[in-house]
Amino acid sequence: MRAHDIGKVTFAGSAVDDPEVLSLLPGELTSLLRHTNGFVLFHGGLHVRGAVRSPAWHSIRAMMEGEDALHKLYASVMQTDIPFAEDCVGDQFLLRAGEVWCLQGETGDIEKTADSLAVFWAAIAKDPCEVLNFNPDLRLEPGQLLHAYPPFCTEESKRGVSLKPIPTLEVIRFHADFAKQLAALPEGTSFKIKVVD
């Protein structure tokens, strides 16, 4: 499988400059990254991280081991999970024991998405908008994700949300902090979100 077999590549990463991280990944992912070292499909519909040291938003090692490693930010993520990709709103795709799992960024909930990476890629190739839940008119710059206000997990979001492109790591950090605060509240609790600059 190559990146262009999955969908329209709108950003391709630079050459591998972190070959050591490839030894930590399963063969199918390593093979993909050796051909295209991380990429963005559909102008931001899916971002697959690469074997690079920087930029941090594109580094699979940064999400595995760095200050913003997902297992450090979310209790539901294990240190052995491989956070290989994300969708346009910052939900994270993890490889866990050969299966693809999706971490809902806003809540920290995690659920199995596909039995294997091959099944995941095939589903995206067949119907990317449905699988990744994005609008085909989406146009994000590499290194950006959409930030939703109010958050999708709230009742208020049913009346509509404002979507704003902001830097990837800001979305990930916001989601992780928000998820921690939500976890401390009883189910069904009302709360207010204070927006600060």
Residue 104 lies in a domain: yes
189 contacts 123 by C-beta, under 8 angstroms: no
Residue 88 lies in a domain: yes
Residue 192 lies in a domain: no
Residue range of the domain that includes 57: 3-183
- Helix-strand-coil split of the chain, %, nearest 5: 35, 25, 40
- As given in the structure block, the two tokens for residue 2 are 């190559």
The larger pLDDT score, comparing residue 56 to residue 194, is at 56
Task: Kindly state the greatest CA–CA separation across the chain.
Answer: 48
In three-state secondary structure terms, 137 is coil
In three-state secondary structure terms, 127 is coil
Pairing of strands 162-167, 144-149: antiparallel
Residue 195 lies in a domain: no
Over residues 97-156, the pLDDT tens digits come to 999 999 999 999 999 999 999 999 999 999 999 999 898 899 999 999 999 887 766 666
Residue 13 lies in a domain: yes
What is the arithmetic mean of pLDDT over 83-103?
97
Of 40-49, 119-128, 160-169, the least confident: 160-169
**pLDDT band for position 185 (50/70/90)?**
low
Q: Does the pLDDT of residue 197 top 60, yes or no?
A: no
Q: What CATH number is given to the structural domain containing 17?
A: 3.40.1580.10
pLDDT at 183: 74
Residue 189 lies in a domain: no
- As given in the structure block, the two tokens for residue 56 are 């941090």
Residue 117 lies in a domain: yes
pLDDT at 38: 96
User: Quick one: which of 39, 24, 160, 45 has its CA closest to 91?
Assistant: 45
Q: How many domains does the chain have?
A: 1
The larger pLDDT score, comparing residue 191 to residue 69, is at 69
In three-state secondary structure terms, 112 is strand
Helix (H) / strand (E) element for 12: namely strand 9-12
Residue 170 lies in a domain: yes
**pLDDT band for position 195 (50/70/90)?**
low
